[in-house]
Chains A and B, each alone.
Chain A
Amino acid sequence: MSKSNVIIVCEAGVGQTESANASLIAAGAKLARSRGGRVIALLIGNQIAEVAAELSRYGVEVRLADSPQHADYAAAVYLNELRKLLEEVDPGAVLFSHTYLGMDLAPRLAVKLSVAFASNCIDLEIENGSVRFARPMYRGRLIAKVALDSIPLVATMQQSGAKPELSNEPGVVTRIDASAGSDMRVRAIRTIVPKSSGVDIAKADIVVSGGRGLGEQKNYALIEELAAAIGGVAACSRPLVDMGWLTVSSQVGLSGKTVKPKLYLACGISGAVEHVYGMKEAGLIVAINKDPEAPIFKTADIGVIGDILEMIPELTAQVKSARQ
């Protein structure tokens, strides 16, 4: 049956996590199953045979381009290979993870195909045979249920934590030679690896994170003191890195690190979609913010309304006496 297959664009390059591919497989499988189709993954990179093998365990067919020439991300290569794969597979949908790669590629594909596109989808549901995506709008303050009225459906999917089912029959991994085609107007030179500060916030059990609500750079010391008192690490949201207070190795979010500590304290952080992305799977999330309508309170388990410049020193003192 045509339009029943689903192409998923998986990743194995920098900044990607296993769970991004896993939740993409889950979403693709849900859609393909509803239509009696298959899931076919495109995977491009260098030294990524293990990632391909992992994908195939879920019954996904993998088209693998694995070569040193693909060590750096190049949109033209993906688009060229997708063009060929679309002709072969005739999919009803092409799904990407909501990563920098997905955010770069998915709209390009949609525009080339003159089809509708939905970015940053939390979930997809099938209602009476029609696909509905849920996605944030207005800086995440509202959620929209949306329809895409063209085929194939093109969307980027947030990491959902969903685990796909393993398959009895692994999917076939087919090696392909991928190339960019003729458009060479954008040329990759090199990948820049972030400098490590020594502390890997992604490994900590407790993360104390500061945001714009701190106001001035000197106030970040309050975060560091609380982190030390509570036995955790200090981190931050993007604006503090943009302002030069900290390096990206301290940043939690889509552009920074994804953390899953048992306790995440968001101090003066509004809860922008891109930040929540990096911490929503924490065990317990506590948010302190003076704006009662801050989106962070939708993600937090415990919310405190108040001025962090008053709350944090008080919390540090209380934590110290509790731990004595």
Chain B
Amino acid sequence: MKIATFAKHVPISAVTPKIAHSLDRIEDANLAHEVNETDLYAIEEAVHQRSLHQGNVVAITIGGPRAKEALHVAYARGVDQAIHVLDETHRGTNSVLSTAAAAAVVKDMNCDAIFVGIQADDDLQGKFGIALAESLDLPVVTAVTEISFDPQNKRAKVIRELGAGFKEELEVDLPCVFTIQFGIRPVRYLPVMAVVKARTKKIDTLPIDSLNLSVDSQSAAQLRVLELSLPVSRGLCEMIDAPPPDAMKQLVATLVQRGVI
């Protein structure tokens, strides 16, 4: 069975990005990046499914030059092949272009399944997998937490989340796009040396222009960020910064005073 899995290289989630002077984007030149978290879960699931059904997992990233690091991580986690669509202008942040590029790369691969994380940590849109499926005229299931493939009969049973703890079981025809939810299976601990070794593995680099995409990257079919700002607090957050005994004494006093305990 053949699975393509997309891995987006995004600013690390542990820090607040600096807002650029123009206010409509972040300053990301010196910002550390990492693989989008749900794309990591997607890679783990793809590699797991390959171990059950044999076959091949190809990881794909669409981004600037440093996005190849996402593919080093994918290789370290066990994928068989890696493709880097090199997008020096938009670095993977133009949704219309990225969808078109993804479709162009995948359309002749004869995949049984295409995996994408449910949403990207940078734009939080959750649209990429759905747009890709539509582009390829494939079915798509979102928020997937369990998959059981039947490649011979070109079908799969899927469990997806509905919220509030409820889930839904579905049957889908293959090929299908699956947007993968957090926790589908554990993300394995990766020793640093595994990623270092993975840097020697071959990555197929495709400049985005070589795909001859006939899309308008300025298309109105994508959201336009006007201004970024820090979140406004819900109210004033009274901060306590003291060693545990004093901090907790202050906290308890406040809670008693406010009548909650």
Residues of B within 8 A of A135 (CB): 124
- Asked if residues B124 and A273 are in contact (CB atoms below 8 Å), the reply is yes
Once A103-B143, A298-B234 are accepted as A-B contacts, the answer to whether A145 and B183 lie under 8 Å apart by CB is no
Distance between A196 CB and nearest chain B CB, rounded to angstroms: 9
Bound CA span A105–B126, Å: 11
Within 8 A of A (CB), among B143-187: 143, 157, 159, 161-173, 176, 181-183, 186
* Segment of A31-39, A57-65, A216-224, A252-260 in the binding face: A252-260
Interface residues of B (CB under 8 A from A): 11, 13-17, 19, 26, 119, 121-127, 130-131, 134, 139-143, 157, 159, 161-173, 176, 181-183, 186, 220-241, 243-245, 247-249, 251-252, 254-256, 258, 260-261
Interface residues of A (CB under 8 A from B): 13-16, 72-73, 99-101, 103-104, 107-108, 110-112, 114-120, 132, 135-150, 183, 185-194, 206, 230-231, 238-239, 241-243, 248-249, 251, 254-258, 262-263, 273, 280, 283-287, 291, 293, 295, 297-306, 310-311, 314-315, 317-319, 322-323
Residues of A within 8 A of B131 (CB): 107, 111
Distance between A60 CB and nearest chain B CB, rounded to angstroms: 23
- Asked if residues A137 and B123 are in contact (CB atoms below 8 Å), the reply is yes
Once A111-B130, A187-B172, A304-B240 are accepted as A-B contacts, the answer to whether A147 and B226 lie under 8 Å apart by CB is yes
Once A73-B162, A138-B13, A191-B166 are accepted as A-B contacts, the answer to whether A117 and B249 lie under 8 Å apart by CB is no
- Asked if residues B228 and A144 are in contact (CB atoms below 8 Å), the reply is yes
Distance between A73 CB and nearest chain B CB, rounded to angstroms: 6
Distance between B136 CB and nearest chain A CB, rounded to angstroms: 12
- Asked if residues A148 and B141 are in contact (CB atoms below 8 Å), the reply is no
Among B11, B220, B256, point to the contact of A322 (Cβ < 8 A): B256
Residues of B within 8 A of A317 (CB): 248
- Asked if residues B237 and A187 are in contact (CB atoms below 8 Å), the reply is no
Bound CA span A136–B240, Å: 26
Once A111-B130, A141-B17, A305-B239 are accepted as A-B contacts, the answer to whether A149 and B172 lie under 8 Å apart by CB is no
Among B121, B168, B222, B247, point to the contact of A138 (Cβ < 8 A): B121
Among B122, B176, B239, point to the contact of A303 (Cβ < 8 A): B239
Once A142-B230, A206-B260 are accepted as A-B contacts, the answer to whether A111 and B169 lie under 8 Å apart by CB is no
Bound CA span A203–B235, Å: 25
Among A104, A241, A273, point to the contact of B183 (Cβ < 8 A): A241
Can you report 13 A-B residue pairs in the complex whose CB atoms are below 8 A from each other? A100-B163, A108-B130, A138-B11, A140-B231, A141-B16, A143-B231, A145-B226, A146-B224, A147-B226, A248-B165, A257-B165, A273-B124, A304-B240
- Asked if residues A138 and B17 are in contact (CB atoms below 8 Å), the reply is yes
Among A99, A145, A194, A302, point to the contact of B237 (Cβ < 8 A): A302
Residues of A within 8 A of B231 (CB): 136, 140-143, 295, 298
- Asked if residues B11 and A301 are in contact (CB atoms below 8 Å), the reply is no
Bound CA span A271–B165, Å: 19
Residues of B within 8 A of A115 (CB): 220-221
Once A107-B131, A301-B237, A318-B252 are accepted as A-B contacts, the answer to whether A145 and B227 lie under 8 Å apart by CB is yes
- Asked if residues A299 and B234 are in contact (CB atoms below 8 Å), the reply is yes
- Asked if residues B141 and A186 are in contact (CB atoms below 8 Å), the reply is yes
Once A101-B162, A314-B244 are accepted as A-B contacts, the answer to whether A280 and B168 lie under 8 Å apart by CB is no
Among B119, B162, B245, point to the contact of A13 (Cβ < 8 A): B162
Once A186-B141, A322-B252 are accepted as A-B contacts, the answer to whether A303 and B240 lie under 8 Å apart by CB is yes
- Closest chain B residue to A183, Cβ basis: B139
Among B16, B233, B261, point to the contact of A263 (Cβ < 8 A): B261
Residues of B within 8 A of A140 (CB): 124, 231
**A-B contact sample (13 more), CB < 8 A, given A15-B164, A249-B165, A318-B251:** A111-B130, A137-B225, A138-B13, A138-B124, A143-B228, A147-B224, A149-B224, A186-B140, A186-B176, A297-B239, A298-B232, A302-B237, A302-B240
- Asked if residues B234 and A142 are in contact (CB atoms below 8 Å), the reply is no
- Asked if residues B228 and A137 are in contact (CB atoms below 8 Å), the reply is yes
- Asked if residues A280 and B234 are in contact (CB atoms below 8 Å), the reply is yes
Bound CA span A138–B250, Å: 33
- Closest chain A residue to B138, Cβ basis: A185
- Closest chain B residue to A187, Cβ basis: B171
Residues of A within 8 A of B139 (CB): 183, 185-186
Among A72, A189, A251, A283, point to the contact of B165 (Cβ < 8 A): A251
Distance between A74 CB and nearest chain B CB, rounded to angstroms: 9
Residues of B within 8 A of A293 (CB): 15-16
Bound CA span A148–B26, Å: 20
Once A230-B261, A255-B161 are accepted as A-B contacts, the answer to whether A301 and B234 lie under 8 Å apart by CB is yes
Bound CA span A255–B44, Å: 21
- Asked if residues A189 and B169 are in contact (CB atoms below 8 Å), the reply is yes
Residues of B within 8 A of A101 (CB): 162-163
- Asked if residues B229 and A142 are in contact (CB atoms below 8 Å), the reply is yes
Residues of B within 8 A of A120 (CB): 124
- Closest chain B residue to A262, Cβ basis: B260
- Asked if residues A14 and B162 are in contact (CB atoms below 8 Å), the reply is yes
- Asked if residues B171 and A108 are in contact (CB atoms below 8 Å), the reply is no
- Closest chain B residue to A150, Cβ basis: B220
Once A298-B234, A302-B240, A319-B261 are accepted as A-B contacts, the answer to whether A192 and B159 lie under 8 Å apart by CB is yes
- Asked if residues B251 and A286 are in contact (CB atoms below 8 Å), the reply is yes
- Closest chain B residue to A147, Cβ basis: B224
Residues of B within 8 A of A239 (CB): 182-183
Residues of A within 8 A of B237 (CB): 287, 297-298, 300-303
